[in-house]
Amino acid sequence: MDWALPPNYSTHGVVIDQLFWIIFWLTAAAFVLVEGGLLWFIFKYRSREGQKAHYTHGSNKLEVIWTAIPVLVFAVLGAYSGTKWAEIKNASGFPPDALQFQVVGKQFEWNITYPGIDRQLGTADDFTVLNQFHFPVNEDIVVNLESEDVIHSFFIPELRVKSDAVPGMVIPVWFDSRQAGEFQIACAELCGLGHYRMRASVTVHETADYEAWLASQATAQ
Amino acid sequence: MRLDLRNSSAAMFVALGIAACGGGGDAGSSGGGDTGGGAAPPAATIDPATVGTISGMINFAGDAPAMRAVDMSGEPDCAAAYTGGGPMTQSVLASGGGLANVFVYLSGGVSGAPAASGAVTLNQENCRYAPHVLGAQAGQDIQITNSDNLLHNINASPTTNRGFNISQPRAGITSTQKFASAEVMVPVRCDVHGWMGAYIGVVDHPYFAVSGANGSFRIANVPAGTYTATAWHEEYGEMTGSVTVTAGGSADLSFDYSASMAGADVPLGEPLVVGHDGAHTHAGQ
Amino acid sequence: MAHAAAAARAPERGLDVYTQKVGMWVFLCSEVMFFAGLIGSYVILRFGASDSWGQPGEVLNVPVTAVNTFILICSSVTMVKAFAAAEADDQKGIKLYLFLTFLMGAMFLGIQAYEYTELILHGEWQGSHGFTPQAGLYGATFFTMTGFHGFHVFLGVVCLGWAFKRSLAGEWGPKNTHGLEVLGLYWHFVDLVWIILFTIVYLI
Amino acid sequence: MATMIAEATGQAILTEEHKQSFLRKYIFSTDHKVIAIQFLFLTLFFLMIGGFLAMMMRYQIAWPDQPIPLGGIFPESMVASGYILPEFYNSLVTMHGSIMVFLAIMPMLVGVYANYLIPLQLGAHDMAFPRLNMYSFWIMIPAGILTLSSFFVIGGAAGAGWTLYAPLSARPDLTGVALGQQMWLASVVLIGLSSIFGSLNYITTVINMRAPGMTWFRMPLTVWALFITAILGLLAMPVLSAAGIMLLFDQTIGTSFFLPEGGGQPLLWQHLFWFFGHPEVYILILPAMGFTSEILAVGSRKPIFGYKAMVWAIISIAFLGFIVWGHHMFQSGMNPALGLTFTISTLFIAVPSAIKTFNWMGTMWRGNLKLHTPMLFAIGFVAMFAIGGLSGIFMASTPVDIYIHDTYFIVAHIHYVLFGGSLFALFGAIYFWYPKMFGRMMNETLGKIHFWLTLIFFNLVFFPMHGLGMVGMMRRIYDASGYRHLEGIADTNALITWSAFALYASGFLFAFNFFWSLWRGKKAADNPWDATTLEWQTPSPPKHGNWAEVPVVYHGPHEYSHPGVTDKDWLAQNERPDVPSPAGGH
Amino acid sequence: MSEAGSHSAEAGDAGHGHEAPKYMLIWVYLLVLTLAEVGVAFLGIPKWIIVTSLLIMAVWKALLVALYYMHLKWEPKRLRILVVAPLPAVAIMIIVIMMEYV
């Protein structure tokens, strides 16, 4: 019964988790205020013999207060979220030297095309592997998401990455991993009867291991 | 006013419920009709005197292209079943001068074929279709079974027949399908495992066969007469030949394929992108 | 209960417009949104998502549809004339104008049917034989929009026939103009949608 | 002169009633009350069906490797050797969402209570267009039958989610579902038509047929909420019909509006769907807010706190509702620049809901709370809707939405506002207006038991889903085994499933109480809750045509514990013109 | 049945006191504008000028039909507000979705 966010290994994930917990504590406070108030009112003002309700149509002062406070809180939250969102998602802000991959979602499998030794996509040494995504640690990764048939969603929980793969569009997704390890790509958008099994393995290598793996793949073809 | 207002509304509610389920219920039987098999008609009695057999070889000249390994690492329980070099693609299997998986059927001269009886089975084992190529008569039951304890979906995409896209998430699940009209080579694929592919040849009569590992095939109980026969292979295309069957005798028929015929025009139902079979996955090697 | 004070109080003044007219205007708002969905998708798909679909008049027959627009505008005029005749209790005028409106509505549908068959059989667009709904997005959006507009014109023509039948029995008059006015609102709305369609689809 | 006309027609309506045949009076009736009751039975039936689909889903999620009991009764295309097949599971997900939204909750909120309450609370004889009102009910019957029988056609029912995202919904070869999807789209267009005819009726009736003295700011909040809901429905449903027709063409005649290979845009479907979708979710919550405000005022014996603020909150929700739809599509590949604008507009639409919550609490503050069943459900609504609203803020903040989008966090949010919100308010409304509809009271003790069971099991089912969302469990997955980040969720899902079965069972307690009280319930007085709005000033159930003489309104809607009235703690809207009241005056 | 609702009609009809609107003149306007539109569409001038002038003429024709033929000119202001209400929603929908492709 553990309800915790999985450990986060990406830089963007830090912002996401931070915002998550800010909102969590804000809503927790509001939750206690509202639910506690309701319970207290029920016990304090439940109908007793001879009790008379207080005749009032409300107070404009209170209305202004509990309109201004949410507006203020949401304005700050909105501005902060908006700027962070622009950093994470605006393709113009992506680092130009990031390692580019092409990930194509197809009904119930992920085909990942690697740039090969020369780190450039579209060159002769590119190769595609089914359901296996290998990339080096501590390096900016940009995945060019595509889909062949329906809408899938590229989701790596531990790296806080999620973006739909829409057929007919190429959507760049920028993330990185600050720790080597084994993760999984899951499909988060209903894509047919095999949606629940559309997963691939993600292996984050130390830089040296990645080079070695690349070499081994080159000879295997 | 008050009392009968309630009775009528309650009555209307019950009627609605029955109508919807009723409407649903009887549609169910017709809807499911397609998958449930009708009672198979009694097999026509075959008079042994008037029938013969056709047997022969599919010869293959030249060396077959080396089959590539299939990357099954995504499915560990299937990969474990293949010791040695691991699973290989199945599109061209040739050994000792013979070509396997060639679908041979009588394409001309057949009249008054007996109705379909019995069932053909297509099994899924270790993330492979067994058999890779099979024949079925129009209207004959095709029993699809799953002996892997993981999800396979059977996506048949014919052109003239109605296709189906059903799933079998566990071992032991069987589903019966049938095709109404003849269609040579209905491609079948599994979307969960891109490398899986099979072909079902649907013909109007029971006179068909698939060549074995050494290229030999045998069609039994063929009424006497002269026929034209066609051989179909997924890489090397189609060839035809004529054969005469004598009552009680055995006619010989052979076809000669050669490696040079690779890339021939292969008549299929819907153009199938089953090319996962190694070629697609390792683009650019 | 003591209702002495309940002297004859007029009910609340809603929009100072009789109920059927308010109902029709509210219905027309929902129709605006329906056509917004269709025409909006056309505008988005043509001017946003894809490169040019061709110059005006390249595929679609502008002269014929210009005549069609002329006919629909005339039918709007005769509709208004019919309503004016009803207010002036000019029974002959009502019958004449209603018949003319009905006739021109039917002519509009006829010409559109002719235009459709012409396009489907001999239309030409980016190599597709016959300009049909399957001929890429241009065909799909064109036939969906103009098709549903035609369907609304057809409904209007049926109602005009019903109104004309009632006018033969002399049922429209100064005391009974609401039905005619509401039908006129619907008819003018259909004409208005065609004005927008004609400009956006045929001329741009 | 106006009253004479009303007088004459009032009498005419009452006498006309006896001449009608049984068919005309009950089956094809144009009386708004009979149509409301027909809607009520139809929607309760579909609520039961939608709930049953959810139970099958929950069984599959909790025990994916166990065959379901009685699996044999299902055709082989749905359940093979006892196991629910993944494509049938997708149909269950799709039809559970669609049936609940389109055939259960929306018609119950709008079809039943707008039809029943608007004429009665405004002092009108009937709807502006009674025949059109009847058509709007009878269009729902073919839509319902189309939906139910789509389970049994070749390929099964629709299976692309209730949001029908293209191209999955547009290409039968990718799902194996062809006819089922088309039948579902046809019934959505029919439901859209029925909803447009209904909204047309409600808007015209509210504008033009209010009784003398019933000014705009003396209308009860229920009528305000239903009026604004009708406007949302009027402007949003046609866009869905247009998009649904385009999707139907994509499937049947081979156009390619949303198919990329033909140049179409899958995102266009999402934009059009959610442009309708967000006003739709406000259609699903605004009437519930209206009923809650009404029941809280009656239960607290106190006027609504900040009536004007509540009205302006409803109106601002209507305007803002049309400019926030993008927050459903943050991760869908939409232009990221739009993400910022939709974040700001989404956060600002949360403000009116916050205002309403505080005003509801203000209504209960220093009240004389009568904790009868409708009041309990109304308080339950406020409590649960508050949680739903708060969990919505997580999604409005776009970076957080990157992680929780399409996870069970969203499912928790949906159900806290739809089940905890709309359905709690609906249960309250059924208990509250049952005496007026059927002339008998529903049993109080059974009602209270039903409330506490529903509240407890509702929270046991949907609060853990927040946890599943945090862990990262994706939506609509048939079997979560094999995902390393989901290893620990088996027992949470088992708890949720057992609680869901209990929740569904407590629903049948409500059904028993509902049908048993139809004939055996305690006889109801005309005003059992001592309420002030006009519908309680008529006999239970009201005669055909509602009013012998059209009432004249002197006071605002919720004048309880008025200092000027000593003999009782409520002042009906149409009595005692001599007593001044803030919203009253002459 | 809904006659009770129509008694507020008297107030609505009073608005007809003005002289009969000049229907035929409006008809002429519409024809001229339609011909002008067709003419402009095939001129050689730059595309954006054509498009803006076409849109202006289309809106003008639409307003003529709405104000005179659909009688909006003499309706109470609140009905005109109700009629114009959906237009901003339509504009927002199209502009925002077009932002997708800008």
Integer angstrom CA distances of residue D502 from B105, D95, D442, D453, D498: 60, 21, 22, 8, 6
Per-residue model confidence (pLDDT) at position B109 = 81
Of E8, E92, E96, the CB nearest to D208: E8
**Segments making up each domain of chain B, as ranges:** 4-14+22-34+50-262
Percent of chain D whose pLDDT exceeds 90 = 77
Which tens digit of pLDDT belongs to each residue from A27-56? 999 999 999 999 999 999 988 888 888 888
Write out the residue limits of the CATH 2.60.40.420 domain(s) in chain A.
Answer: 95-220
What's the CA gap between A201 and B98, in Å, rounded?
40
DSSP state of B39: P
Least confident of B74-83, D352-361, D479-488, E1-10: E1-10
Higher pLDDT, D250 or B46: D250
Per-residue model confidence (pLDDT) at position D16 = 47
Per-residue model confidence (pLDDT) at position B266 = 74
Residue D127 forms contact with E (CB below 8 Å): yes
Per-residue model confidence (pLDDT) at position A146 = 95
Per-residue model confidence (pLDDT) at position E90 = 95
Higher pLDDT, C194 or B56: C194
DSSP D45-84: HHHHHHHHHHHHHHHHHH-TTSPPTTGGGS-TTTEETTEE
Chains that touch D (3 or more CB pairs under 8 A): A, B, C, E
Residue E83 forms contact with D (CB below 8 Å): no
Strand order of the β-sheet with B141-146 is B128-130, B119-125, B141-146, B174-177
Give the residue on A whose Cα is nearest the Cα of B155: A193
Q: Test D338 with E92 for CB contact under 8 angstroms.
A: no
**Which residues does chain D have within 8 Å of residue C12's beta carbon, measured at their own beta carbons?**
210-215
Instruction: Evaluate whether chains D and A are touching (3 or more beta carbon pairs less than 8 Å apart).
Output: yes
Cβ neighbors of D87 (< 8 A, separation 6 or more) are A192, A193, B165, B166, B167, D156, D159, D175, D176, D177
Higher pLDDT, B6 or B240: B240
Higher pLDDT, B13 or B125: B125
Q: Test E12 with C22 for CB contact under 8 angstroms.
A: no
Average pLDDT of the residues of chain D? 91
Least confident of C90-94, D22-26, D256-260, E17-21: E17-21
Q: Give all domains of chain D, ordered by start, each with its CATH number.
A: 1-9+28-284 (1.20.210.10), 532-586 (no CATH)
Least confident of A73-77, D573-577, E20-24: E20-24
Per-residue model confidence (pLDDT) at position D427 = 97
ipTM of the complex: 0.88
Instruction: Tell whether omega for the bond before D352 is within 30 degrees of 0, i.e. cis.
Output: no
Residue B66 forms contact with A (CB below 8 Å): no
Per-residue model confidence (pLDDT) at position D12 = 41
Hey, of A130, A199, A202, which one would you mutate to test binding to chain B, going by the most B CBs within 10 A of its CB? A130
Percent of chain B whose pLDDT exceeds 90 = 10
The bridge status of strand B51-61 relative to strand B255-258 is parallel
Which tens digit of pLDDT belongs to each residue from D295-316? 999 999 999 999 999 999 999 9
Least confident of A93-97, B69-73, C4-8, D270-274: C4-8
Per-residue model confidence (pLDDT) at position B41 = 43
> Which CATH number does A95-220 carry?
2.60.40.420
Which tens digit of pLDDT belongs to each residue from E48-81? 899 999 999 999 999 999 999 998 988 889 899 9
Residues 174-203 of B with CB under 8 A from A: 191-192, 194
Grade residue E21 by pLDDT with cuts at 50, 70 and 90.
low
Of A128, A193, A200, the CB nearest to B74: A200
Q: Test C22 with D3 for CB contact under 8 angstroms.
A: no
Per-residue model confidence (pLDDT) at position B276 = 33
- In degrees and rounded to multiples of 5, residue B51 shows phi and psi of -115, 160
What's the CA gap between A88 and B108, in Å, rounded?
66
Higher pLDDT, E4 or D434: D434
Q: Calculate mean pLDDT across residues C134-154.
A: 93
Hey, of C192, C194, C201, which one would you mutate to test binding to chain E, going by the most E CBs within 10 A of its CB? C192
Percent of chain D whose pLDDT exceeds 70 = 96
Which tens digit of pLDDT belongs to each residue from C21-43? 999 999 999 999 999 999 999 99
SS3 state at D157:
coil
Q: Test C137 with D238 for CB contact under 8 angstroms.
A: no
Per-residue model confidence (pLDDT) at position C101 = 95
Higher pLDDT, D375 or E17: D375
Residue D300 forms contact with A (CB below 8 Å): yes
Per-residue model confidence (pLDDT) at position B200 = 92
Which tens digit of pLDDT belongs to each residue from B203-253? 988 888 998 888 888 888 888 888 888 888 888 888 888 888 888 888 888
Grade residue E19 by pLDDT with cuts at 50, 70 and 90.
low
Full-model pTM: 0.90
Amino acid at E83: V
What's the CA gap between A47 and A66, in Å, rounded?
28
**Min CA distance, D208 vs chain E (Å)?**
7
Average pLDDT of the residues of chain A? 92
Which tens digit of pLDDT belongs to each residue from D399-417? 999 999 999 999 999 999 9
CATH topology of domain B4-14+22-34+50-262: Immunoglobulin-like (2.60.40)
**Min CA distance, C25 vs chain E (Å)?**
7
Grade residue D575 by pLDDT with cuts at 50, 70 and 90.
confident
Give the residue on D whose Cα is nearest the Cα of B13: D41
Q: What residues pair up with A205 in beta bridges, in sequence order? A: A136
Amino acid at A133: F
Reply yes or no on whether the pLDDT at A195 is more than 80: yes
Of E1, E89, E99, the CB nearest to D335: E99
CATH topology of domain A13-89: Helix Hairpins (1.10.287)
Grade residue B22 by pLDDT with cuts at 50, 70 and 90.
very low
Per-residue model confidence (pLDDT) at position A220 = 67
Q: Which residue in D318, D362, D358, D409 sits closest to A70, CA to CA?
A: D358
Reply yes or no on whether the pLDDT at B23 is more than 50: no
* Burial class for C140, CB neighbours closer than 10 Å (0-12, 13-18, 19+): buried
Q: Test B74 with A129 for CB contact under 8 angstroms.
A: no
Q: Calculate mean pLDDT across residues D144-160.
A: 93
Percent of chain C whose pLDDT exceeds 70 = 96
Residues 73-102 of A with CB under 8 A from D: 74-75, 77-78, 81-82, 84-86, 88-91
Per-residue model confidence (pLDDT) at position D579 = 84
Residues 7-46 of C with CB under 8 A from E: 10-11, 13-22, 25-26, 28-29, 32-33, 36, 40, 43-44
Which tens digit of pLDDT belongs to each residue from D466-484? 999 999 999 999 999 889 9
Three state DSSP letters for D160-190: CCCCCCCCCCCCHHHHCCCHHHHHHHHHHHH
Tokens of A121: 């996509």
Reply yes or no on whether the pLDDT at B15 is more than 70: no
- Cβ atoms of B71 and D191 within 8 Å: the answer is no
**Min CA distance, A119 vs chain B (Å)?**
16
**Min CA distance, C135 vs chain E (Å)?**
23
Q: Give all domains of chain C, ordered by start, each with its CATH number.
A: 20-203 (1.20.120.80)
**Min CA distance, C86 vs chain E (Å)?**
13
Which tens digit of pLDDT belongs to each residue from B137-166? 988 999 999 998 889 999 998 888 888 888
Which tens digit of pLDDT belongs to each residue from B176-185? 898 998 888 8
